[in-house]
Amino acid sequence: MIKIAVLPGDGIGQEIVQEAVKVLRVLPLSFDMQEAPVGGTAYDLTGHPLPQSTIDLAQNSQAILFGAVGDWKYDTLDRPLRPEQAILGLRKHFGLFANFRPAICYPELVGASSLKPEIVSGLDILIIRELTGDIYFGQPRGKRIASDGHFPGSEEAFDTMRYSVPEIERIAHVAFQAAQKRSKRVTSVDKSNVLETFQLWRDVLTCVGKSYPEVSLDHMYVDNAAMQLVKEPKKFDVVVTGNMFGDILSDEASMLTGSIGMLPSASLNKDNFGLYEPSHGSAPDIAGKGIANPLATILSAAMMLRFSLNQAQAASLVEKAVQHVLSNGLRTADIYSEGTQKVSTSEMGDAVAKALKTLV
C-alpha cells in the first residue's frame, strides 16, 4: 500500500489536486490517499495554517501531494499565521532542500508561449532551487517600531540572506548528479559581484564541480540569467540557484512553456521523501470557476511516482497520457488557442485519466 498525504490547500488547490488524484486512481497500484487541511483552509478550521495533525499525516506517508495555499483575505494576519507559512513549515520540518522545476515546452504548446516558436521549440530546462536557506529562512529577521510615531507601524524591516558551505555543497551535488543524466551542463546563477552570500555560493559550486569533470559548469549573474531565459532559453540545461532567485527564475521559465499551469515541481530531502506541487499559486480570483489547468499538478504526481515512490514506469505512463491529451487538441483556458478545444478543469482531468486507461 502506497501512502500519500493529500493536502489540497486553498483556492484552485482543491480543484487541481482532485484531478491528480483521479489520474492516480487509474494506475494498477494500491494507494492509501488521505486528505488533511493546510494553509488558509487549516487556519479557518484550527487557527493555524499547519496543524500538528497535518504534519502527523505527512510524517506517516511516503510522499505529499500538495495543491496551493494563500488568499488575499488572510493578508492582515500576523505573518506566522498566514497560509504561506504552511509550505515553509513543511519544507523546514521535512528538510526539503532540493526543489526540481522542469520547464518543458511540449510541441503542441509552442504556439502558446509568449516567445517566438523558434525560441522555445524543443525547450527542456531543469531549474534546481535550494529551498531551505537564503533570505526566506535567514536569521535575524524582523522589524523595528518607530519610536516617535512619525510612521504608523514599523520604522524599518530586515531579512538576512545567509548560506553555509554544507547547504551549498548538498544542492550542488544534486545539480551535478542531475546533469549527468541529461546534457552534462550546469549553470550556476548568483549575484556574487555584490553579495558576499553568493560569492561563497560561487566558490563552493566551483569546488564541487571539480568532482564532476564530465559536467561543464558556468556561472551567470541572476540579472543576466533572467535576460538569457527570454533571449536564448535553450542555451540552458540544468540551472542551480538559491531560494529567492530560484523562485523568481522558475516562474519566468514557466511562461516559456505556454503557461505556469504547465510547470510541475518536486521538493526532496536527502532520503528522497518529497512534496509535489504545481509551481503556481492558489489563484483565488479563478477558484471555483472550473477553469484552472490541472496539468502541472498531474505532472507533479508523475514526478512523485518517479522520485519518491520508485514507480518510474507509472510516471512515464502519466506523462504520455498528458502528451496524448495535448496532441488531441484539448486545452484549458490558459493554453487555449484558435483551432483547439477549450475544456474545464475536470474535463481535462477526465481526458488524462481516459488516455491513461488505454496505456496501463
Active-site residue (options: 136, 159, 234, 336): 136
145 pLDDT tier (thresholds 50, 70, 90): low
138 pLDDT tier (thresholds 50, 70, 90): confident
Active-site residue (options: 191, 237, 276, 334): 191
Active-site residue (options: 32, 56, 223, 285): 223
Q: What is the pLDDT of residue 255?
A: 82
Condensed to tens digits (0 to 9), the pLDDT of residues 84-105 reads 999 999 999 999 999 999 999 9
Lowest-pLDDT choice from 48-62, 151-165, 260-274: 151-165
Grid look-up 496524448 returns 324
pLDDT of residue 221 exceeding 60, the answer is yes
| Beta carbons of 322 and 295 less than 8 angstroms apart | yes
Q: What would the mean pLDDT of 273-294 be, rounded to a whole number?
A: 95
Lowest-pLDDT choice from 148-152, 202-206, 330-334: 148-152
Q: What would the mean pLDDT of 243-248 be, rounded to a whole number?
A: 95
pLDDT of residue 229 exceeding 60, the answer is yes
Active-site residue (options: 10, 237, 247, 334): 247
Active-site residue (options: 251, 336, 342, 354): 251
Query: 276 or 146, which is more confident?
Result: 276
| CATH class in words for 1-97+271-360 | alpha beta
Domain range summary for the chain, segments of one domain joined by +: 1-97+271-360, 107-268
pLDDT of residue 242 exceeding 70, the answer is yes
CA angle 171, 173, 179 (to 5 degrees): 105
* Percent of the residues in the chain that have a pLDDT greater than 70, as a whole number: 97
Q: 10 Å Cβ neighbour count for 47?
A: 9
Residue type, 326: L
271 pLDDT tier (thresholds 50, 70, 90): very high
Residues 6+ apart with CB under 8 A from 145: 153, 154, 155
Helix (H), strand (E), coil (C) string for the chain: CEEEEEEEECCCHHHHHHHHHHHHCCCCCCEEEEECCCCHHHHHHHCCCCCHHHHHHHHCCCEEEEEECCCHHHCCCCHHHCCHHHHHHHHHHHCCCEEEEEEECCHHHHHHCCCCHHHHCCCEEEEEEECCCHHHCCCCCEEEECCCCCCCCEEEEECCCCCCHHHHHHHHHHHHHHHHCCCCEEEEEECCCCCHHHHHHHHHHHHHHCCCCCCEEEEEEHHHHHHHHHHCHHHCCEEEECHHHHHHHHHHHHHHCCCHHHCEEEEECCCCCEEEEECCCCCCCCCCCCCCCCHHHHHHHHHHHHHCCCCHHHHHHHHHHHHHHHHCCEECHHHCCCCCEECCHHHHHHHHHHHHHCCC
For residues 140 and 222, what is the distance between their CA atoms, to the nearest angstrom? 24
Residues 6+ apart with CB under 8 A from 140: 158, 160
CATH 3.40.50.720 given to domain 107-268:
no
**Nearest partner of 22 among 36, 6, 38, 10, judged by Cα:** 6
Condensed to tens digits (0 to 9), the pLDDT of residues 176-201 reads 999 999 999 999 999 999 999 999 99
pLDDT of residue 151 exceeding 70, the answer is no
Q: What is the pLDDT of residue 114?
A: 83
Q: Answer yes or no: 251 catalytic.
A: yes
Q: Answer yes or no: 247 catalytic.
A: yes
pLDDT of residue 219 exceeding 60, the answer is yes
| Beta carbons of 349 and 22 less than 8 angstroms apart | yes
Q: What would the mean pLDDT of 315-336 be, rounded to a whole number?
A: 96
Q: Answer yes or no: 136 catalytic.
A: yes
Lowest-pLDDT choice from 65-74, 106-115, 187-196, 347-356: 106-115
Q: Answer yes or no: 223 catalytic.
A: yes
Given this chain, do its domains 1-97+271-360 and 107-268 carry the same CATH topology?
Answer: yes
Lowest-pLDDT choice from 112-121, 161-170, 199-208: 112-121
For residues 147 and 157, what is the distance between their CA atoms, to the nearest angstrom? 14
- Mean residue pLDDT of the chain comes to 94
pLDDT of residue 336 exceeding 60, the answer is yes
Q: What is the pLDDT of residue 234?
A: 94
